[in-house]
Amino acid sequence: MSTLADIEISALAQSVRFESERMVITLTDDREISVPVAWYPRLAQATPEPRNNWRLIGDGEGIHWPDVDEDLPVAGILLGLKPPTSLSPKPNDREK
């Protein structure tokens, strides 16, 4: 019998867009996943310009936002994982 830990997540991102308070990721198999931007404090506090400056990590295993210093694995997003609270913006990050 397999468990959730035995299941391999092999989804790859193709593109990212933001709609209101949600981040929408299109996967290479044409599925779309949508999560609240509030789950990712650095992205939530960023303006549209740095939010839209992203690049894929590897073949789409993750997404990197250089202006926001955020890296998110697609598998983690699919599993509903949120970043640890220690990765929330620091007070001086909000001033930039």
- Residue span of the structural domain in which 62 resides: 4-81
pLDDT on residue 42: 95
Residue 37 lies in a domain: yes
pLDDT on residue 18: 97
- CA distance readout (Å), 67 to 27, 48, 90: 23, 11, 15
Residue 90 lies in a domain: no
- Domain count across the chain: 1
Residue 13 lies in a domain: yes
pLDDT in tens, 57-87: 999 999 999 999 999 999 999 998 887 764 4
Residue 94 lies in a domain: no
For residue 95, pLDDT over 50 is answered with: no
Residue 44 lies in a domain: yes
Residues 56 and 66: beta-carbon distance below 8 Å: no
Residue 73 lies in a domain: yes
Whole-prediction pTM value?
0.78
Q: What is the CATH number of the domain that holds 9?
A: 3.30.2020.40
Residue 92 lies in a domain: no
